[in-house]
Amino acid sequence: MNFYAIRAIYLFEMARTWRTLLQSIVSPVISTSLYFVVFGAAIGSRISEINGISYGAFIVPGLVMLSLLTQSISNASFGIYFPKFVGTIYELLSAPVSYLEIVIAYVGAAASKSIILGLIILATAALFVPLQVQHPVWMLLFLVLTAVTFSLFGFIIGIWARSFEQLQLVPLLIITPLTFLGGSFYSIDMLPPFWRTVSLFNPVVYLVSGFRWSFFGVSDVNVGISLGMTLVFLAACLAAVWWIFRTGWRIKV
Amino acid sequence: MIVMQPIISVSNLSKTYASGFSALKDINLDIRRGEIFALLGPNGAGKTTLISVICGIVNPTSGTVLADGHDIVRDYRAARTLIGLVPQELTTDAFETVWATVSFSRGLFGKPANPAHIEKILKDLSLWDKKDSKIITLSGGMKRRVMIAKALSHEPQILFLDEPTAGVDVELRRDMWEVVRLLRETGVTIILTTHYIEEAEQMADRVGVISHGEIILVEDKAELMRKLGRKQLTLQLQQPLEQVPQALSSHGLELSEDGNELVYTYDTQGERTGITALLKDLNDAGIRFRDLQTKQSSLEEIFVNLVSERR
């Protein structure tokens, strides 16, 4: 194992975060705070409790998940796309690093950033609403698992993308809608039966539900199923990355 | 006699792209340990593809490459650890500092941090005073030096320089030649591609010519120039001639347009150059000359001749 290479890539990627602190950390925190002001304080005060939880607190896991998904994808996709775009990927391809090491370093860095961001958003949320975490270990597990899974997904998008437009396509047109429709701001039990069934095809529902369970002990779907679905998506992403590197798809000619 | 194992051994290497374009055709090439090898060829000949395959950037279609005995595919870690690459394009990070990007390269190639080594490289390449500068603020020539520093950061035994001095001014180019010579003195094998034939002529021990994906010649530079080099003797006449006299027709002389110069072309490899006979015949014909000069063909002329012969 080339640990020096993993460390070099990881630190290089993390350094980019600190260089772009405003974009990487401050901006998502401000957006999330605005959500709390609008949905938590302004609108939330007129919404009754959901499953005995105040609306302001209810949306916290969903909001963390929203940032976690979008930032994981954006960090990881940009991390690998940019060297492709500017041509510095030659160095990565000519270095004595295995594909596994490349994935560990890039995905590890992207996931680390998302996890840090998720925890900052949680801390920010605690300033607005009283927060309780019934299952902190599970909360961290869902946080890490989701960050890693979607960083892997972002890594795949970064390799697939041939332009900055394509890079934005999946997060904007697929992930954001799925997150908004995945029960971030509501319980899917509040939906009419037909739309509730449709929602069960949205993988984000399982992530938000499982994560919310770790906070409040209540969930839209069974926590075991949530965990299972997250692991299935993780396995699918791992399989895709394995195939990409085995074939050199869009990396090597 | 001990035959030293080549540091790079390319056997039956071919590369055909998905489009069907055959960039490399059954390449066989050995690079000797410690030499400076210049790979010459016109645009699109396959120089960069060959380097890219050896360095692991492009997958070979068939054939094998060994770097110091290590297969570049099966034993890629050991092979790549030995190799440093300076690509043709100026592809650098923009917002990193020189120090950070060179240190990053060392880590990427599996070496522990060694600030003293990085400092030496940056000083050797006259980059030390720029170590804290962001790469985006550097000139093109300086960026090229940064790329060389990155390639040297992990102390490679083999260095590929793909058009190292493209777009670099004359002074910087000569500085780089000096750096390359110093590297060779430390035992690093250097393979360079270049459009500046002068560069190969100045630096290379051996020259390989690639054209249309095939190696058409590999030869010691001096030997190549001796073998293929033609020399010309130009005689400046005291009195202009209207035509070459009949008595001198056997020498194949060319007369300049103004009739003031006679040009005699001869083979440096031949046992006899024919100069003595020519001078005697000139004397017998009563032709006097004011001055004479000889000129040897440059590597560039040899290269152009070789490539045009293949077309």
Q: Do residues B206 and B94 share a domain?
A: yes
CA B79 to each of CA B126, B128, B161: distance values in angstroms, whole numbers, following the listed order: 29, 30, 17
Domain assignment present for B271: yes
Give residue for tokens 């399982």.
Answer: A206
Tokens of A145: 């698992």
Domain assignment present for B51: yes
> In the listed set B225, B254, B273, which residue is the last one of a domain according to the structure?
B225
**Closest CB to A87 among B55, B91, B103:** B91
Q: Do residues B198 and B244 share a domain?
A: no
d(CA A196, CA B170): 72
Nearest C-alpha in A relative to B78? A96
Among A233, A11, A220, A83, smallest CA distance to B91 is for A83
For B36, the 3-state DSSP assignment is: strand
**Closest CB to B76 among A19, A96, A252:** A96
Residues of A in contact with B94 (CB under 8 A): 86
> In the listed set B201, B225, B249, which residue is the last one of a domain according to the structure?
B225
**Residue count (chain A):** 253
Q: Do residues B46 and B169 share a domain?
A: yes
DSSP-derived pairing of the beta strands B189-193 and B36-40: parallel
- Report the pLDDT value the prediction gives residue A136, as an integer from 0 to 100: 92
Domain assignment present for B304: no
CATH number (domain holding residue B277): 3.30.70
| H or E segment to which residue B300 belongs | helix B299-310
Q: Do residues B141 and B245 share a domain?
A: no
Domain assignment present for B68: yes
With a cut of 80, say whether residue A44 has pLDDT above it.
no
A44 vs B201 pLDDT, higher one: B201
d(CA A205, CA A215): 16
> In the listed set B173, B205, B225, which residue is the last one of a domain according to the structure?
B225
Judged by average pLDDT, the poorest of A42-51, A82-91, A230-239, B102-111 is A42-51
d(CA A92, CA A101): 11
Domain assignment present for B307: no
Q: Do residues B149 and B186 share a domain?
A: yes
Q: Do residues B192 and B82 share a domain?
A: yes
With a cut of 80, say whether residue A63 has pLDDT above it.
yes
Q: For the range A235-239, what are the long-range contacts, defined as Cβ-Cβ under 8 Å and sequence gap of 24 or more?
A: A237/A149, A237/A152, A237/A153, A237/A156, A238/A152
Contact present, A142 and A211 (Cβ < 8 Å) = yes
Contact B108 A86 (CB under 8 A): no
Q: How far apart are the first and last CA of chain B?
A: 40
Taking the CA of residue A248 and the nearest CA in chain B, the distance in Å comes to 9
Nearest C-alpha in A relative to B101? A12
Domain assignment present for B2: no
Domain assignment present for B63: yes
Domain assignment present for B309: no
Q: For the range B4-7, what are the long-range contacts, defined as Cβ-Cβ under 8 Å and sequence gap of 24 or more?
A: B4/B32, B4/B33, B5/B33, B5/B68, B5/B69, B6/B30, B6/B31, B6/B32, B6/B33, B7/B31, B7/B32, B7/B33, B7/B34, B7/B67, B7/B68, B7/B157, B7/B158, B7/B189
Q: Do residues B66 and B197 share a domain?
A: yes
Contact A94 B18 (CB under 8 A): no
As a whole number, mean pLDDT of residues A180-208 equals 85
Residues of A in contact with B103 (CB under 8 A): 8
With a cut of 60, say whether residue A89 has pLDDT above it.
yes
Tokens of A217: 């002990």
> Total domain count for chain B?
2
Among A16, A151, A75, smallest CA distance to B95 is for A16
**pLDDT of chain B, 311 residues: tens digit per residue:** 556 789 999 999 999 998 999 999 999 999 999 999 999 888 888 999 999 999 999 999 999 999 999 999 999 999 999 999 999 888 888 889 999 999 999 999 999 999 999 999 999 888 999 999 999 999 888 898 899 999 999 999 999 999 887 777 787 788 888 888 888 999 999 999 887 777 888 889 999 989 889 998 899 988 877 766 678 899 999 989 988 888 888 888 889 988 999 999 887 666 778 888 899 898 888 899 899 998 877 777 777 777 777 66
- Report the pLDDT value the prediction gives residue B229, as an integer from 0 to 100: 66
Q: Do residues B71 and B110 share a domain?
A: yes
Q: Do residues B205 and B250 share a domain?
A: no
Taking the CA of residue A5 and the nearest CA in chain B, the distance in Å comes to 4
Tokens of B310: 């293949």
- Report the pLDDT value the prediction gives residue B139, as an integer from 0 to 100: 86
With a cut of 90, say whether residue A96 has pLDDT above it.
yes
Q: Do residues B220 and B240 share a domain?
A: no
CA A66 to each of CA A61, A63, A179, A207, B222: distance values in angstroms, whole numbers, following the listed order: 9, 5, 6, 10, 68
- Report the pLDDT value the prediction gives residue B2, as an integer from 0 to 100: 56
Q: Do residues B95 and B64 share a domain?
A: yes
d(CA B271, CA A43): 101
A17-31: per-residue pLDDT in tens?
888 777 778 887 888
- Report the pLDDT value the prediction gives residue A4, as an integer from 0 to 100: 95
CATH number (domain holding residue B68): 3.40.50.300
Contact B93 A86 (CB under 8 A): yes
Judged by average pLDDT, the poorest of A200-204, A247-251, B137-141, B216-220 is A247-251
Among A186, A183, A181, A28, smallest CA distance to A118 is for A28
- Report the pLDDT value the prediction gives residue A138, as an integer from 0 to 100: 93
d(CA B74, CA B295): 50
CA A80 to chain centre: 17
For B77, the domain range is 8-225
Cβ contacts of B308 within 8 Å, gap of 6 or more? none
Q: Do residues B138 and B280 share a domain?
A: no
- Report the pLDDT value the prediction gives residue B159, as an integer from 0 to 100: 96
DSSP letter at B16 equals E
